A and B are shown apart, each in its own frame.
Chain A
Amino acid sequence: MGGRRLYVVEAEGLVKRFAKVVAVDGLSLSIREGEVFGLLGPNGAGKTTTIRLLLGLTHPTEGRLRVCGHDPTREPQAVRRCVGYVGQEIAVDPYLTARENLMVFAGLYHLRGDERRRRIEEVLELVGLAERADDVVRTFSGGMKKRLDIACGLLHRPRLLFLDEPTLGLDVETRRRVWDFVKDLAGQGMTVLLTTHYLEEADRLCDRVAIIDRGKLQAVGRPQELKDGLGGDVLRLRLAEEAPLSAAVEALQRLPCVTTVQPVDGVLTARVQSGESALPQVMDALARAGIGVAAVSWSRPTLDDVFLAHTGRRLEAHGV
């Protein structure tokens, strides 16, 4: 290798300001050809707006943007020809058959004649719907609808596929099938940009993850890199009821083995070098301060710990 990697998406200092909010605030990103890139953040972080900017469906207030070598503001059609877009909602016509839906989308990508027929068979096969192709979509399960939805975005063999919250509202089983499917696509060399607020999804699926919050890029890297970057272990403590949270934070901060302590929703998260050696010291310190502990656990850092370290908040509700 050694040659320069090709960037399919390049964004520099991207800003999107609406009347009352700054949805995207100085975002810079580069997405390489062939990688699965995740935008991870809570609802309202600016993920969907970022995708709309990349597609030229809305225009940046400031910043420079290139998608497949084109400026989405000036050449939206050129961008849309090389990008497949699958939105959050399942956007297929429930009153048409799977094949009819694909025929409509094939028309929108200007596919004609034999080529159109071939591509439709191809994607039906790919998403495993060939046998149900002539059934009305209304009779499909949620997972089948989602697969058809993705198939509609693949008809024109895009270089780049945008998946906006691809597993939102799907059950666990279906979610796993969608993940496998996305991995297959990536294995065939397609570049995938997905947004998600599921940590597991980002962790399992993405080669690289950008953590965004309030429109700002907080961190970017391989999931493992980001987690390793925090170093050590993460200790989670739920205090006994009525125990003073602030006193507990103070007690822990005095310990040399504790790097940081953050209270979120009644759970104390402490970063330590080693959970095993820190735990007795932590319990001892709390006992001496007269603070009861209801539950405790420790693990290697998760992506949520990375999110917490950068934003002071958590993405998912946690027990201990």
Chain B
Amino acid sequence: MGSDFYVEVGAFLRRWYWRLRREPVSIFAALAQPVLWLFLFGNLFRRAGVAATAGGDYLAFMTAGVVVMTIVNAALAGGIEVMFDREQGLLARLLAAPIRPASVLVGRFLFVVIVTSLQAGVILAMARLMGVRPATGLPGVAGVLAIGVLLGAGVAVLSLSLAFRLRTHGEFFELIAFISLPLLFLSSALVPLEAMPGWMAAVARLNPMTYAIDAVRSLMLRGWATGLLAGVAGVLVLFDAVCLAIGVRTFSRALRD
């Protein structure tokens, strides 16, 4: 039985890979967009004087924000394909096969996490080409990816839950469009919390993105701050646990009757 589960998950991973391979435009957009963010925001805010609040190299400061933002956006959109499957009757068909229903979700989840990690890696490489050197070197890059996976995993599970909670993919797109910018501005992606109005900083402290960004930023700019990293990892694991609890509730209800 155990090996059957891997075969099922493998079938889904292959499906998503084949799909992606045939969409060069979306691959290009997924990689080019964050670079554009780095370039535009980096230059805009440097001129606007925001950079002074960040101290030192604003581009390096921004890289952490862009990496985390990209992960969150990609993970947030990860459930849409499952929503399409639901709408087109394909999901019902898949569930009529002798599979563990969880393999549908696990396959999509793993794919989203793998792709977003690759995206994060590419952004770091691009930033390097633009002169941003992580203070912690190559091991630091691994650390950044680990933080990214911890955050992305929770968001991907939430997105998969949305695929069962919302009624149409239209709602899904609207919701993503609605929340992605506020999530960005109400985090430490663009400016440090200390430079924000008090209430905004208070809200940003509830945003898991803020913690991931602080950890990534510390790895990029300063070095191994073990205490900070452990604290952030703790917060993100807690976040993942909450997401997973919501997900399991949603999935077991949706897949049962």
Contact = CB atoms under 8 A, between A and B. Distances in A.
Contact of A85 (B19, B90, B96): B96
A247 interface: no
A77 B89 contact: no
Contact of B97 (A88, A105, A112): A105
Interface string B16-35: 00110011000000000000
A312 to B, nearest CB: 32
B213 to A, nearest CB: 34
A57 B14 contact: no
A248 B90 CA distance: 51
Interface stretch (B5-13, B164-172, B200-208, B244-252): B5-13
Contacts of B95: 57
Nearest to B87: A89
A138 to B, nearest CB: 10
B14 A107 contact: yes
A237 B39 CA distance: 78
A222 B92 CA distance: 31
B88 to A, nearest CB: 6
Contacts of B4: 110
B11 A106 contact: yes
Contacts of A216: none
A58 interface: yes
A103 B97 contact: no
B183 to A, nearest CB: 29
Given A87-B93, A88-B89, A110-B4, A93 B15 contact: yes
Q: Which of B8, B14, B92, B257 has the most CB of A within 10 A?
A: B92
Interface in B34-77: none
A203 interface: no
Binding site secondary structure of chain B: helix
Given A58-B257, A110-B7, A112-B7, A91 B14 contact: no
Interface residues of A, number: 33
A140 B10 CA distance: 26
B137 to A, nearest CB: 40
A112 B94 CA distance: 18
A55 B19 contact: no
B115 to A, nearest CB: 16
B6 to A, nearest CB: 10
Contacts of A90: 89
A257 interface: no
Nearest to A18: B257
A77 B98 contact: yes
B93 A85 contact: yes
Given A91-B88, A110-B7, A136-B22, A103 B94 contact: no
Q: Which of A58, A86, A109, A110 has the most CB of B within 10 A?
A: A110
A77 B98 CA distance: 5
Interface string B108-148: 00000000000000000000000000000000000000000
Given A88-B89, A107-B10, A112-B7, A80 B22 contact: no
Interface of B: 4, 7-8, 10-12, 14-15, 18-19, 22-23, 88-90, 92-99, 257
8 contacts: A57-B96, A77-B98, A80-B98, A87-B92, A104-B11, A104-B14, A107-B8, A108-B8
For the complex of A and B, 9 pairs with smallest distance between CB atoms: A107-B11, A89-B89, A91-B93, A108-B97, A85-B96, A80-B98, A91-B90, A77-B98, A81-B98
Given A76-B98, A104-B14, 18 more contacts: A55-B96, A57-B92, A57-B96, A80-B98, A85-B93, A87-B89, A87-B92, A88-B89, A89-B89, A91-B88, A95-B22, A103-B11, A105-B11, A107-B14, A108-B8, A108-B11, A108-B98, A112-B7
Interface of A: 55, 57-59, 76-78, 80-81, 83, 85-93, 95-96, 100, 103-110, 112, 136, 152
